[in-house]
Amino acid sequence: MNRNQKIQQIAVTAAQMREIEGRIFAAGMPVAALMEKVAGLISHRIKSLFPISSFSGKVGVLVGPGHNGGDALVVARELHFSGYQVKIYRVFPKLKELTAQHDLYAQSLGICYVNELADLEDCELIIDGLFGFGLEREIKDDLAAKINQLNQWCKTVVSIDLPSGLHTDSGEVLGTAIKANYTLCLGLWKLGLLQDLALEYVGKAELIDFEIPLTDITAILGEMPLIQRVTKEFVQQHLPLPRPAVTHKYKQGHLLLICGSRKYSGGAILTGLGARGSGVGMLSIAVPESLKPLLVSHLPEALIIGCEETENGAIASLPDAVDLGGYDAIACGPGITTEATNILEGILANNKPVILDADGLNILAQLGTISTLKNRQEITVLTPHAGEFKRLFPDIENVQQSRVEAVKKAAELTQAIVLLKGARTAIANATSKVWIVPESTPALARGGSGDVLTGLIGGLLAQGVAANINSLVERVVIAAWWHAQAGILAAKERTELGVDAFTLTQFLSSVLLHHFSSSL
């Protein structure tokens, strides 16, 4: 993995970024030189995104008091030199020393300064250089009103490092925040940009790599950072491809799915189709006896196990012939209803990796999440959305505001792998390491999408167990990325409204062809 690929995987907090920059400056890098370098890269990217020939060339630049404002002033200067019609709006009268020097130079060049935000309304492009990383205080009063006014203009906005007003770590809006179309994140990805709360404000985010030495990064974060963005290169490294030239179905994993009921038969089908898409060697699906013909018609390659039913059509018990120890992994939950409590208890008593979703999680919450899981010897994977997470972990507060901390704490308490679904899905294991899937699509906000993910995770885990892979958390991570990418590809072809869960399963193989065709 080359340097750029490593950099793309790293996400940092404001405190960590300060420490890393502190090492750079302590080693002798002048702050002014770094500002020139960074702003030069920003200017180059802006000119690439918005060539002067493509619009009027009118650019408004918002300048804050700190080094983010200094970056914005250098960008303004470089765009001015390139022929753009630049207007600068300095929001605060007092500036940091270096920023003040760039301000004086910009004035000497005759760049236009304006006294009111309204004077930028004729600009087609706005550069946001108000605040960089580390903002803690809430934006109020006149400045808040100006930001709200800007947001109502619906101009194209490029934010430097983060949209002004976002908390660097949580992505929380501090009073109000600028809604950017593009965010050019500087040096390393800021954690807040990967949080659900920030997505309405970030727009399209890109990393401006100004070549921080890896030695400075590892000195602060260690060789294996505890928070990591999931990239295509990470997925390719852990994807079970290519397969050995000589193999057979049992070497490619045997997964047991326990899912479905008379009321929720579709959950069994969608989970099975997700597992099929994983490439698992053998697939067995336990469903109520009455659903057996339906499952056979949709998944003829699977071994369908008919089970005794309750009066309401839920699984009452597994057949005596089913040996839970004979499978590489077991996934349980979609569509089983909360009647299937004894089924879940039997699964958790087994010494195989278990994936729990939907009603499997609801039953676990009723049993007592932590007390039930703490004695399991094999891994358990929990895949809750925010509502299920609150039922599983009622003592963990502010889940949406602190998703990374919440998922870390849940994994530590249960010694499980916890996947918290969302626009930016977060996965944590018991060692407090967190992976964040940096892309997704609202097209996945459809019933059944989670069932597909459960099957996909189960299939990848079963293959990992069959291959004697020591660490299985990476299989959960790549399943989450794969699932999101399938949604993205499907939305591009079918629109966001056209991606039902069944359609989603048809795009699972397309992800591999789209991203990894050269290695298949």
357 annotated to a ligand binding site: no
Residue 261's alpha-carbon distances to 310, 319, 342, in angstroms, are: 9, 16, 15
Q: What are phi and psi of 127, to 5 degrees?
A: -100, 120
* Beta bridge pairs of residue 380: 354
Q: Rounded to whole angstroms, how far apart are CA atoms 61 and 114?
A: 10
451 annotated to a ligand binding site: yes
171 annotated to a ligand binding site: no
Residue 318's alpha-carbon distances to 286, 310, 323, 466, in angstroms, are: 8, 12, 9, 24
133 annotated to a ligand binding site: yes
515 annotated to a ligand binding site: no
456 annotated to a ligand binding site: no
135 annotated to a ligand binding site: yes
Q: Tell me how far apart the terminal alpha carbons of the chain are, to the nearest angstrom.
A: 19
Residues 6+ apart with CB under 8 A from 122: 58
Q: How many CB atoms lie within 10 A of CB 250?
A: 11
136 annotated to a ligand binding site: yes
In the 8-state DSSP scheme, what is residue 173?
B
**Tokens of residue 260, six digits:** 């479905």
71 annotated to a ligand binding site: yes
Query: Do residues 433 and 228 lie in contact, with contact meaning Cβ atoms separated by under 8 Å?
Result: yes
70 annotated to a ligand binding site: yes
496 annotated to a ligand binding site: no
| 209 SS3 class | coil
**Tokens of residue 12, six digits:** 């940092």
Query: Do residues 59 and 78 lie in contact, with contact meaning Cβ atoms separated by under 8 Å?
Result: no
The residue count for the chain: 520
243 annotated to a ligand binding site: no
Helix axes 359-367, 341-348, angle to 10 degrees: 80
232 annotated to a ligand binding site: no
425 annotated to a ligand binding site: yes
| 288 SS3 class | strand
421 annotated to a ligand binding site: yes
137 annotated to a ligand binding site: yes
Ranges of H-type helices in 50-184: 67-81, 97-108, 141-153
Query: Do residues 461 and 472 lie in contact, with contact meaning Cβ atoms separated by under 8 Å?
Result: yes
Q: How many CA atoms lie within 13 A of 43 on its CB side?
A: 23
Q: What's the distance, CA 14 to chain centroid?
A: 19
Q: Rounded to whole angstroms, how far apart are CA atoms 250 and 280?
A: 9
380 annotated to a ligand binding site: no
196 annotated to a ligand binding site: no
**Torsion angle in degrees (nearest 10) through CA of 257, 261, 265, 267:** -50
Q: Rounded to whole angstroms, how far apart are CA atoms 304 and 295?
A: 7
Q: Rounded to whole angstroms, how far apart are CA atoms 408 and 130?
A: 32
Helix axes 97-108, 31-49, angle to 10 degrees: 50
- Using alpha carbons, select from 5, 10, 424, 7 the residue that is nearest to residue 233: 5
346 annotated to a ligand binding site: no
Tell me the chain's radius of gyration from C-alpha atoms.
Answer: 26
Binding-site sequence positions for K(+): 68, 128, 164
Binding-site sequence positions for AMP: 421-425, 450
Binding-site sequence positions: 67-71, 128, 132-138, 161, 164, 335, 385, 421-425, 450-451
Binding-site sequence positions for (6S)-NADPHX: 67-71, 132-138, 161, 335, 385, 451
